[in-house]
Structures are given as structure tokens and as C-alpha cells.
Structure 1
Amino acid sequence: MRKFFIYILYVLSDAVCSLAISSNIYEVLKGIKLLNTYYTISLNHNSTNKCASYCLADNTCVSVNYNFVTKQCQLSTKSPLDESTDVVEDNEWKVLFSKKDLPPNSWELIFRGTAGTGVKLYDSFVGTVSLPAHEVGCYLPVTHNLTCTTHYRDPILDIWSTQSILKVKVAMYKDNVMVMNMVFNNTYNGLNTDWYSKDQLIYSSYTDMITVGITYNFFSIKGDEPIERRFYINKNYGGCDVDVGWIAVFDSGPTCSYEFGLQYPAFAYMPNNVMGQWDLKAFQLADALAIYIQK
């Protein structure tokens, strides 16, 4: 029955094959392949559009693999943007997908920072510095464990106030494993930095961050601007030896002894889900910082 259905799609696909790419229904990511596939079609000529049209005509299909060497077309029920999808790097393949096919309430990656690149994270986020071309892995969830050697910034950050964004999530990763995360409401219809505040925080993996009566001397993306501690959530100063906080992006330095030897930008977080004293080197360093939105 499946083969008959695929045959019917093949007969009808010429009517929709040019629609799939030309109308921007599908985006294309080169150099990766999804492992979660359920049917393979061998095409007799090189046609990305033809492959995409099969997915477009099958209600169970979310994305497709296309091999431009063997001309194989593989249908998948998964999106490469879904953290549960198995993705590998392979230069013979490319994936066609649509963001509209993500499951309800999914998190969409809009920014990813890579530690130690020498490019300031804050300037990259607010768009005051031009970023080099990024690998396809930078565009996808960190848990996919794909190559990413620079920062990635989605243009949606430039039209933030025009988008219907409900929530924003910030997470840090070490060895492709999430080590902390926070979720914020996006009730301000303003700058793309306004949501990062204690008033908008609705969840934190830090159990003491949302304790009633807790105070902060910094809680913002801009952070401590003169010394470039960004995405900074800190409880108190009083001399470097008594600084206490939760997370920080060190874009430059050092100012205090606990910043000596860092490769910038450095993504510092306190482990064990509670605040810590910076001078005791209680913090650890993450490899990546990711920001997601939910619409």
C-alpha cells in the first residue's frame, strides 16, 4: 500500500515540485542527515524539488534527506530543529524542512554563543558586530553534537517587537549536556533584551534564584557594562573576594583574580543549582550558550 501511495505521489509531484522550494515552504541545510526516516525513494534524476514535493504531499512527513550523489530521497517524521532528532554530519546529504512543522510548544533556537572565539557575545547578540559564516551545526540544537566554531544570530532579533513571542529560554551546555537553564515571559513589547529580568523570570534550574526576598545587584543582559560581565545574574559585590552570584558571560577582563586565565568570551555558571562565591572558583565553564523562543 505504501509503494502504491508513493507511486501516486510520483505521478502528481510534478504539479507541486516547483512549489516546495520557490515559495520558501522548505529551508535547506547542507552537510547533515537525519537518522529518523521511514521511507526511501530513488530518483532517476537530480531534483531537490522532486524530493521535497513527496514530503509536501505526505501528511506524516516533516522533513526529507536528499543525497545529491546517489539521488536518494528519504522521508522523516522529525525536524532537525527538534532536540529529540538524531542528526549526523555528512557532506553528501542535505535536509529540507519547515519551521512550521515543529511540534506545538517547541523551542526554536535563535541565538547560540560559542566559548573562546574571541568575538564578544554581547555585541554579537545585539547585532553591533558582523559575524563570520557559521557551520550548519550552529543553527541546530546544541544536543545534536554538530560542529559549531562561531556564534549564530537569527535575524528575528532585529524584528523582535513585531513577533508574537511568548517565552524565552536561556541555557548553557557543557560537553553538549545542558547544565543550567532559565525561562522568561516575554510580556514587554520592546527591546530584544527586556525579557531578561527578575520580574519576567518564571523558571530557573537554580533553586535559590526564585526564593522570596532574594536580591540582586545585577540581573540583565547588559550586566556590569564597564567590565563587560554580560547576561549577568549576581547577588552582591563588596570586593572580589566576596562576590556571589549564579551566571556570567565574561566578554573581556580580567578584573578579579577569578577571571585570570579565561579564554573570552567565557560562559561561567555555578554548579549544584545554587549561587556560589566567585573568588573560590566555585564556578564551571560552559562550551555554549543558547537562547530559544516559544511562540
Structure 2
Amino acid sequence: MAIYGFDAFAPAEIAERVQHVGVAKARMPLLKMLMLGVLAGAFIGLGALYYVLVVSDPTLGFAASRVLGGVVFSLGLLLVVVAGAELFTGNNLLVMAWADGRIATHEVLRNWVVVCLANFVGAAGLALLVWLSHHPAMNGGRVAETVVRIAAAKCAAPAGQLFFNGILCNMLVCMAVWMAMAGRSVIDKAVAIVFPISAFVAAGFEHSIANMYLIPLAMLLKDAVAAPIPGIDRLDGWGLLHNLGAVIAGNLVGGALLVALVYHIIYRRPPRNRASGGSG
């Protein structure tokens, strides 16, 4: 028997909550939106930093390093959801409120553009701080080498591959945010977040905000890494734009269309009235 006040919200209730939150996010004052966006970029960067620490250990097997790395990467979204921040990929769920006519198109676009740019400032700013701290020198320099290898592969990947990996990533990210809205406690939210986030990371899907941390950090580190790394010549501004353009487009499709719009149709779209009359 469910205990009142502790049972999870039902899916239809989650849809209503996501819609109400979407209206508040879309109409948030600009300065607050910018500051919370910067925080979210830094939070996701911290998750990526934690992930690199794990996967830079050569003693771990493939599956162990990927899954454990994904679990620790979940720190980023946990900070966003529990501490409070504005994350572009999670805010793709604003489409629910837009589809219901609660917010205008320009309000959705304003939120996405402002939050995405603020996320970049936070993520790239954290990359600069991490570089200045000499943190990547840990593990005999393997942390730095791992960052450069990961980022070089991201910049060298074909746009189509990045796009579809972006779709799959944000389907899982938005499902994590969706399920976290079902929870009433921090533990509820943590459990809801860890599994989908660790799944997308372990599978190697593409998250635009994480890439806003990893690629700038790799650009700062590439000249200090002695090992030959395929694709290192793509670590420049054009490589960053190549990656982010395709991944952001994929993230939008995965989150806005395949999660937000689908759930809007299921739970929020009013049923059509049957035409009056007919044979009988």
C-alpha cells in the first residue's frame, strides 16, 4: 500500500508537472536564466571530469570502465536537478508546454539559445580552471591523454554519426529528467537519474554540454600530450563547431520530439470529439 506523500507521481502527473515547470522556465528573468545556465554547464563538466578519471585507468576492463564511468558521470545531472540549474538538453522538454499552447515559440527559442550559450560559458570556463589546476597531470598524465583521445574522436567523427548519437543521448537524458520529476526525495531522483545517464555514457552517445567541456579542455592540453592520437589535428574551433552543430541538432530531436512531443500526445493532447450524428 502506498504511503501518502511518499509514493511516486504517476506518468500523467509527471506530464502536468513538466508542463508547469516548462512555463516557469520559459518566463524566467534573463539574469537568473544566464546564471543557472552557467552553473549547469559547470555541473555537467564536473560529471565529465569524474568520468575521465575512471576511464583513464588502464587496469579496468572495457565494460567495467564504461559502466562505472557512466555512473560517476551522473553527478552532473544530479547537481542540475537537486541543486538547481538550467540545462539545455533537459530544457528540450519545454516542447510539452509549447505544444499545449502555454508558451509561445519565441519563449522556447529564447530559453534554448540563452541556456545553451550559458552552458557553454560554464563548461568551457570549468575546462579553463581544470587546465590551470594541472589536474589532467594525474595518473602520470593519462588523464590528459584520455581527454585528448576522447575529444579528438568526437571532432573527427562524421556528422551523421554524431547526429544519431545525439538523438539517442538526449532520449535518455530527458527520460532521466522525466523520471526524476516522479520522485519526492533526493534518493528518488538519484535512482531515476543514474540508470539512464550511465546507459548513454557507457554506450558512447553524444551530449552537447559534456562536449562543451571536453573539447575545449582537450584544445588546451593537446600540445602537452606526447602520444600520437588519431584526429588530434581536428581539435580546433572548426572541429568544435563540427561536433556541436551535429550533436545539438541530434539532442533537440531526441529530447524535444521523441520524448516531450510523444508524451504530450499521450498525456496532454485533448481527445477529439466525435462528430455528431451518424448511422446507428
Structure with higher Rg: it is: 1
Choose between structure 1 and 2: higher strand proportion.
Answer: 1
Choose between structure 1 and 2: higher helix proportion.
Answer: 2
TM-score range, shorter chain: under 0.3
TM-score (norm 1): 0.22
